[in-house]
Amino acid sequence: AGGTRQCAPSNHKALYYEWRGPFALSQQGYVVIAPDYTGQGSDIPQGFMYEAGALHAADVSFGLKAARTVLGDRITQEWVVVGHSEGGLSAWRTCEREAKPGKATGGFLGAVALAPALQPIKLIPEAFRLANGGPVGDVNSIFLLQSFAKLYPSIKPDDYFTDTVLSRIPLSEQGCVGTGSALYSGLTEKQLYKNSSWLTHPDFKDWQKRYNGEGPFTLAAPMLVLQGEADERVYANYTEEDVNATCKEFPESTLELKLYPDLDHFVVTEASQAD
């Protein structure tokens, strides 16, 4: 949704995903509990912790516990987690978290992960490669490096962002993802970064384990993964790689992958609702 507090879905009239998510689910009779991503709805020093799947999963659990405290027996004990893109990552990590000792929230039935962005460490370089020197169409890596730098003092944005990007950040922070896309998506890799060596920095690999929650891990309940084959943000081959890694390492886990030919990142949220 964006990198600053005003971009939190709880501040959006339509909760950001409107009929692609919360409205469609509530119309079907579900109670929707939707905590903002870690650091997005607050002013903590670390800021919005973009792609921090392990922390997002904890917020899902704590958000559910808080809702149960308030709503009591007006909601069922049984629940599922559904998410798209970074939310798909969060749903996947929640399904893993619920299987860990002492973490189970109780009543968990399963997960639906749409276009789950599990591996930014691979997705971002792939976007650069596919752009082949042309516009990357990228805002995600900008948000990620800004978030990463607030967690690791060794990473300084000035060492990586070009003057063009640095000059646009103050304007970008006045808006949300749409503003960022307008400012950055027409730029090439060389116009975005003086160098992109942060993607291979040891601290980024540490971040991938510590904050992103890199697995694979066993699943607590069945998970359905939905992926558009024409997705230009979360590439289908990497989603298949993640699914295969989990199935190979934990064959006792229940996981189904459904691919949608010719569908991109956002259309899959609507096209898959019948499934």
Q: Residue 99 — very low, low, confident or very high, per pLDDT cuts 50/70/90?
A: very high
Portion of the chain with pLDDT greater than 90, in percent: 90
The confidence score (pLDDT) of residue 173 equals: 92
pLDDT in tens, 128-173: 999 999 999 989 999 999 999 999 999 999 999 999 999 999 999 9
Q: What is the arithmetic mean of pLDDT over 41-64?
A: 91
Q: Are 12 and 41 in contact (CB under 8 A)?
A: no
Given a cut of 80, whether residue 41 has pLDDT beyond it is: no
Q: Which of 10-24, 70-84, 229-243 has the lowest mean pLDDT?
A: 10-24
Given a cut of 90, whether residue 196 has pLDDT beyond it is: yes
The confidence score (pLDDT) of residue 42 equals: 76
